[in-house]
Amino acid sequence: MIKNTPPMGWNSWNTFGADINEQLIFDTADKMVETGLSALGYEYLVIDDCWALKERDENGRLVADPQKFPHGMKAVADYVHSKGLKFGMYSCAGYLTCAAYPGSFEYEFIDAKTFAEWGVDFLKYDYCYHSSVIHGKYLYRRMGLALKNCGRDILFSACTWGADNTAEWIRETSANMWRSTGDVFDNWETIKSIIEQQEAILPYGGAGSFNDMDMLVVGMYGKGNVGLQGLNDTQYKTHFSIWALLGSPLMIGCDVRNMNKETFDILSNEELIKINQDADCRQVFKLSLYSGNNIKAYARNLENGDIAVGFFNLTDKKVTVKFLLDELGLPVSTGKTLEMHEVWNGETVTVKNGTLIKNIEAFDSLVYRCRVVDA
């Protein structure tokens, strides 16, 4: 059974690109367990593009590159499973993958069966080199149906980049998560752009089919396949906080074999992970703030009656935010207020007179788990 909360795990693309091999996957699986990341819920270990040979075999099946994966993909999957993790792979709805390896167009059922035989639990399905005459919804319906009939539970990650009005039809395809934007890069402008693009599609995410804001760049520091200027730890903290609060899948993109303490501390914030993984998967909604541009505020109702509220300063200057509880359905007339616990610094405050005023440092964020109490 594929769970209905946002998938969590690790993907090879952000750091390694085409530079992948079975030893990297074995070492990463080991480290996911040793560090405790797997115990926190990061369970999928996904190999992205560039794993295959450029030609299919005589039976039309995909073939793993024997130089990179000399023992074959079944052996890689078996090792990942032996660590208590789940194994993911990559293909594409087009004739070719984004890196020009064989795509799955017109081979959907063959490839789904192959992935099932190899022990795959997760398929990232890209959108490069797709047909110019067949709409994306039909291409993703094909693979969705193939996966449903392959004999194995395989999580379907649709990487459509939000193209062709993806939000309007992606649930029809049985996709469990779907990319809502173009690719992430390790710079602040990309992070801000992805956040901005979410606001119009927040109503489309929910249990079993999540708006995927792309893989995390936490801990990359400008290195690797998508490394550009890099971010500082405060920016990585805010990046992770928004992804978590908005209910995005949390797929680590850094090299977990060599991550520093700051990176681990961000990725392992248990209170934020609990918010991200809340069983109700309620729609996130935007809040109004009495503050400047590039200051974001979002909230979502949680399973036990709590409310998660986040304030995000995307600017390079300290700001003051003012927030009214009326927006959450708690005007002063109810006689109720919020006890707010901040998930990073541990501060607990009780809101007075229906108004919260807070200072937020440059690029920083405050995320609260809130409990309704008597005023």
**8-276 and 285-374: identical CATH topology:** no
CATH architecture of 285-374: Sandwich (2.60)
CA–CA dist 236, 187 (Å, integer): 10
Nearest 10 degrees: Cα torsion 338, 357, 308, 264? -130
Annotated domain spans of the chain: 8-276, 285-374
Task: For CA atoms 67, 72, 76, 79, give the dihedral sign.
Answer: negative
Q: Please report, in angstroms and rounded to a whole number, the separation of the first and last CA atoms in the chain.
A: 43
What integer pLDDT is reported at residue 3 of this predicted model? 77
Please give the helix or strand (H or E) that residue 23 lies within, else none.
helix 22-34
What integer pLDDT is reported at residue 292 of this predicted model? 66
Task: For CA atoms 272, 274, 275, 281, give the dihedral sign.
Answer: positive
CA–CA dist 68, 91 (Å, integer): 17
Beta strand ranges found along the chain (DSSP E): 8-11, 44-46, 86-92, 122-126, 155-158, 177-179, 210-212, 250-252, 285-286, 295-301, 307-313, 319-324, 336-342, 348-350, 355-360, 365-374
Query: Helix (H, G, I), strand (E, B), or coil: what is residue 359?
Result: strand
CA–CA dist 6, 73 (Å, integer): 26
- Reading the chain (375 residues) residue by residue, the pLDDT tens digits are 677 899 999 999 999 999 999 999 999 999 999 999 999 999 999 999 999 999 999 999 999 999 999 999 999 999 999 999 999 999 999 999 999 999 999 999 999 999 999 999 999 999 999 999 999 999 999 999 999 999 999 999 999 999 999 999 999 999 999 999 999 999 999 999 999 999 999 999 888 889 999 999 999 999 999 998 999 999 999 999 999 999 999 999 999 999 999 999 999 999 999 999 999 999 999 998 766 678 999 999 999 999 999 999 999 999 999 999 999 999 999 999 999 999 999 999 999 999 999 999 999 999 999 999 999
DSSP single-letter state for residue 309: E
Query: Which superfamily is assigned to 8-276 in CATH?
Result: Aldolase class I (3.20.20.70)
Residues classed as catalytic: 126, 183
Residue 127 · residue 170 · CB < 8 Å = no
pTM for the structure as a whole: 0.97
Partners of residue 342 on adjacent β-strands: 368
Half-sphere exposure of 209 (CA within 13 A, CB side): 17
What integer pLDDT is reported at residue 208 of this predicted model? 85
With helix as H, strand as E and coil as C, how does 166-234 read? HHHHHHHHCCCEEECCCCCCECHHHHHHHHHHHHHHHHHCECCEEEECCCCCCCCCCCCCCECCCCCHH
Nearest 10 degrees: Cα torsion 269, 271, 277, 282? -130
Q: Please spell the DSSP secondary structure of 103-126, one letter per residue.
A: --TT-HHHHHHHHHHHT--EEEEE
What integer pLDDT is reported at residue 268 of this predicted model? 98
Residue 299 · residue 325 · CB < 8 Å = no
What integer pLDDT is reported at residue 290 of this predicted model? 67
